[in-house]
A and B are shown apart, each in its own frame.
Chain A
Amino acid sequence: MEKMSRVTTALSGSALTGRTMHCHLDAPANAISVCRDAAQVVVAGRSIFKIYAIEEEQFVEKLNLRVGRKPSLNLSCADVVWHQMDENLLATAATNGVVVTWNLGRPSRNKQDQLFTEHKRTVNKVCFHPTEAHVLLSGSQDGFMKCFDLRRKDSVSTFSGQSESVRDVQFSIRDYFTFASTFENGNVQLWDIRRPDRCERMFTAHNGPVFCCDWHPEDRGWLATGGRDKMVKVWDMTTHRAKEMHCVQTIASVARVKWRPECRHHLATCSMMVDHNIYVWDVRRPFVPAAMFEEHRDVTTGIAWRHPHDPSFLLSGSKDSTLCQHLFRDASQPVERANPEGLCYGLFGDLAFAAKESLVAAESGRKPYTGDRRHPIFFKRKLDPAEPFSGLASSALSVFETESGGGSMSWFVDTAERYALAGRPLAELCDHNAKVARELGRNQVAQTWTMLRIIYCSPGLVSSANLNHSVGKGSSCGLPLMNSFNLKDMGPGLGSETRLDRSKGDTRSDTALLDSSATLITNEDNEETEGSDVPADYLLGDVEGEEDELYPLDTEHVHPEEPEYVLPQEAFPLRHEIVDTPSGPEHLQDKADSPHVSGNEADTASLAPVDSSSSLLSVSHALYDSRLPPDFFSVLVRDMLHFYAEQGDVQMAVSVLIVLGERVRKDIDEQTQEHWYTSYIDLLQRFCLWNVSNEVVKLSTSRAVSCLNQASTTLHVNCSHCKRPMSSRGWVCDRCHRCASMCAVCHHVVKGLFVWCQGCSHGGHLQHIMKWLEGSSHCPAGCGHLCEYS
Chain B
Amino acid sequence: MFVARSIAADHKDLIHDVSFDFHGRRMATCSSDQSVKVWDKSESGDWHCTASWKTHSGSVWRVTWAHPEFGQVLASCSFDRTAAVWEEIVGESNDKLRGQSHWVKRTTLVDSRTSVTDVKFAPKHMGLMLATCSADGIVRIYEAPDVMNLSQWSLQHEISCKLSCSCISWNPSSSRAHSPMIAVGSDDSSPNTMAKVQIFEYNENTRKYAKAETLMTVTDPVHDIAFAPNLGRSFHILAIATKDVRIFTLKPVRKELTSSGGPTKFEIHIVAQFDNHNSQVWRVSWNITGTVLASSGDDGCVRLWKANYMDNWKCTGILKGNGNPVNGSAQLGNSNPSLSSNTSNLQNSLHGSSAGRKHS
Contacts and interface: CB of A to CB of B under 8 A. Distances in A.
Given A351-B302, A547-B357, A564-B359, A342 B9 contact: no
B300 A403 contact: no
A95 interface: no
Nearest to B281: A341
B252 interface: no
Interface string B46-80: 01000000000111010000000000000000011
Contacts of A541: 308-309
A395 B14 contact: yes
Interface stretch (B142-150, B203-211, B260-268, B340-348): B340-348
B128 to A, nearest CB: 16
B317 to A, nearest CB: 10
Contacts of A551: 357
A789 interface: no
A630 interface: no
A591 B235 CA distance: 42
Contacts of A175: none
A328 to B, nearest CB: 18
Interface string A133-161: 00000000000000000000000000000
B279 A544 contact: no
B196 interface: no
Given A249-B57, A678-B125, A397 B6 contact: yes
Contacts of B47: 399
B357 A671 contact: no
Given A394-B12, A679-B232, A340 B282 contact: yes
Contacts of A236: none
A205 B169 CA distance: 43
Contact of A352 (B3, B23, B27, B355): B27
Given A353-B18, A400-B319, A442 B6 contact: no
B49 to A, nearest CB: 10
B246 interface: no
Interface string A517-541: 0000001100000000000000011
Contacts of A345: 20, 285-288, 292, 294
Given A342-B15, A351-B319, A401-B3, A680 B296 contact: no
B300 A359 contact: yes
A356 to B, nearest CB: 6
Contacts of A687: 23
B359 A545 contact: no
A349 interface: yes
Contacts of B221: 372
B309 A542 contact: yes
> Which of B9, B345, B357, B360 counts the most chain A CB atoms within 10 A?
B357
Interface stretch (A43-51, A76-84, A360-368, A615-623): A360-368
A399 B354 contact: no
> Which of A250, A371, A682 counts the most chain B CB atoms within 10 A?
A682
A397 B350 contact: no
B356 interface: yes
Interface in B195-244: 220-221, 223-224, 229-235, 243
Interface stretch (B100-108, B151-159, B172-180): B172-180
A251 B348 contact: no
Given A342-B18, A402-B350, A334 B79 contact: yes
B28 to A, nearest CB: 9
Contacts of A372: 189, 220-221, 243
Interface residues of B, number: 108
B310 interface: yes
Contact of A344 (B5, B20, B31): B20
A397 B174 contact: no
Given A392-B12, A544-B345, A647-B291, A688 B233 contact: no
Nearest to A540: B309
A542 B356 contact: yes
B359 to A, nearest CB: 6
Given A354-B15, A372-B220, A541-B309, A563 B360 contact: yes
Contact of B32 (A338, A347, A444, A649): A338
Interface in B5-51: 5-9, 11-20, 22-24, 27, 29-34, 45, 47
B29 A645 contact: no
A219 B233 CA distance: 65
B162 interface: no
B353 A287 contact: no
B175 A671 contact: yes
B235 to A, nearest CB: 8
Contacts of B233: 645-646, 648
A580 interface: no
B269 interface: no
Given A369-B279, A401-B45, A545 B345 contact: yes
B1 interface: yes
B134 interface: no
Contact of B231 (A230, A370, A397, A648): A648
B359 A397 contact: no
Contacts of B286: 345
Interface stretch (A6-14, A104-112, A404-412, A774-782): A404-412
Given A366-B279, A543-B308, A675-B232, A349 B29 contact: no
B13 A288 contact: yes
A671 B5 contact: no
Given A353-B321, A547-B356, A645 B231 contact: yes
A462 interface: no
Contacts of A663: none
A474 interface: no
A452 interface: no
Contacts of A395: 9, 11, 13-15, 31
A240 B234 CA distance: 72
Contacts of A230: 57
A442 B351 CA distance: 10
Nearest to B304: A351
B79 A341 contact: no
B132 interface: no
A491 B17 CA distance: 56
> Which of B16, B18, B173, B302 counts the most chain A CB atoms within 10 A?
B18
Contact of A400 (B229, B232, B289, B323): B323
A759 to B, nearest CB: 11
> Which of B12, B13, B79 counts the most chain A CB atoms within 10 A?
B13
B15 A441 contact: no
> Which of A352, A401, A642 counts the most chain B CB atoms within 10 A?
A352
A347 B288 contact: yes
A400 B322 CA distance: 9
Contacts of A563: 359-360
A263 interface: no
A443 interface: yes
A594 B290 CA distance: 43
Contacts of A768: none
A602 B197 CA distance: 48
A251 B177 contact: no
Interface in B297-338: 297-300, 302, 308-310, 319-323, 338
A541 B321 CA distance: 32
Contacts of B8: 397
Contact of B358 (A366, A441, A540, A682): A441
Given A360-B321, A400-B2, 14 more contacts: A288-B13, A339-B224, A340-B14, A341-B297, A342-B16, A346-B20, A351-B285, A361-B321, A366-B300, A372-B189, A394-B12, A442-B356, A646-B233, A675-B230
- Those 9 A-B pairs whose CB atoms lie nearest each other, nearest first: A347-B24, A360-B321, A675-B175, A544-B348, A395-B15, A343-B283, A354-B15, A359-B300, A397-B9
Interface of A: 230, 249-251, 274-275, 285, 287-288, 334, 337-356, 359-362, 366-367, 369-374, 392-404, 408-409, 411-412, 439, 441-445, 523-524, 540-545, 547-548, 551, 554, 563-564, 566, 642, 645-650, 653-654, 671-672, 674-676, 678-680, 682-683, 685-688, 704
